[in-house]
């Protein structure tokens, strides 16, 4: 898994991240979603590494990265805090500017990095996600039925107790789908109480402070300054929830492109070659705004 890549623990000012990095060329940071670790990218990262330096961390709160202290506003698990980690990590590795790709919960951190640090982000790719403020603002009965976990995970204590009763049944997954090493890494994460708590804190931040940050940007009419690519899984439910996914993103991203991919939610595991092709084509683009 990740042949030729380096694995290390990187101490940053506000977090310690487990990071896998390799390749050569312009840098791209890949951010996983819930409940995965950086290992979800093991089929995609080598396909990018021929022309890019590829960096894959466990987000703070996830995997083997450090867990933030609990606070009433969940600020340590906010996407703003995690975006700050991304900037600090890439500076540590010698990169002042870089592309960022986020899947699922990682897409919210990638979006926040582009909004908060426009001078650092050259390209933004968001996979299977829309801004948190858009998701919550458009919430209806269909959303509540399909994405009920957002609201359950946002409750105190009970989600952790339910998940840890039988994490394998709760989350599913298999070595056949994910690859044996990636599955072992993921399984270690979902069986760790501190990591499960860290993942729930990500959702608690999403229902409060993260939405506040998005809404503040909307009021200030701030938008993404770099080219933006939105990709979504056609066998998941983003189209069912939102119809035209690009229409949701367009007010936030003046330089926007994207499409649906014929795969399920975990596209990096299910359609790695197609995803890598989309990303390589996008990363070769210059801004059009």
Active site residues: 104, 265
Rg of the chain over Cα atoms, rounded to whole angstroms, equals 17
Nearest CA to 128 out of 274, 255, 258 is that of 258
Dist. CA 258–CA 235, nearest whole Å: 16
Dist. CA 249–CA 27, nearest whole Å: 24
Dist. CA 220–CA 188, nearest whole Å: 42
Is the Cβ–Cβ distance between 259 and 231 less than 8 Å?
A: yes
For helices 105-116 and 209-219, give the axis angle rounded to 10 degrees. 40
SS3 assignment for 228-258? EEEEEECCCCHHHHHCCHHHHHCCCCCCEEE
Is the Cβ–Cβ distance between 132 and 116 less than 8 Å?
A: no
Dist. CA 233–CA 176, nearest whole Å: 20
């Amino acid at each position: 898994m990740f042949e030729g890549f380096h694995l290390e623990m990187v101490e940053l000012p506000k977090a310690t991240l487990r990071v896998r990095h390799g390749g050569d060329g312009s840098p791209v940071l890949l951010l996983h979603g819930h409940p995965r670790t950086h290992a979800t990218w093991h089929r995609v990262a080598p396909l990018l590494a021929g022309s890019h330096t590829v960096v894959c961390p466990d987000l703070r709160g996830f995997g083997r990265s450090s867990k933030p202290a609990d606070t009433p506003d969940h600020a340590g698990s906010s996407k703003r805090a995690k975006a700050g980690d991304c900037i600090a990590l890439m500076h540590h590795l010698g990169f002042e500017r870089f592309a960022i790709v986020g899947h699922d919960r990682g897409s919210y951190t990638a979006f926040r990095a582009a909004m908060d640090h426009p001078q650092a982000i050259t390209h933004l790719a968001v996979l299977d996600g829309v801004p948190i403020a858009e998701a919550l603002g458009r919430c209806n009965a269909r959303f509540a039925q399909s994405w009920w976990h957002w609201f359950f995970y946002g409750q105190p204590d009970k989600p952790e107790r339910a998940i840890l009763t039988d994490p394998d049944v709760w989350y599913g997954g298999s070595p056949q789908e994910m690859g044996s090493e990636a599955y072992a890494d993921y399984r270690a994460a979902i069986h760790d109480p501190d990591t499960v708590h860290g993942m729930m804190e990500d959702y608690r931040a999403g229902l409060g402070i993260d939405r506040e940050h998005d809404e503040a940007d909307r009021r200030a009419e701030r938008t993404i300054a770099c080219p933006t690519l939105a990709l979504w899984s056609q066998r998941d439910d983003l189209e069912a929830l939102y119809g035209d996914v690009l229409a949701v993103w367009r007010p936030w991203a003046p330089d926007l492109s994207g499409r649906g991919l014929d795969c399920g939610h975990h596209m990096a595991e299910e359609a790695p070659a197609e995803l890598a092709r989309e990303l390589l084509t996008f990363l070769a683009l210059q801004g059009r705004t």
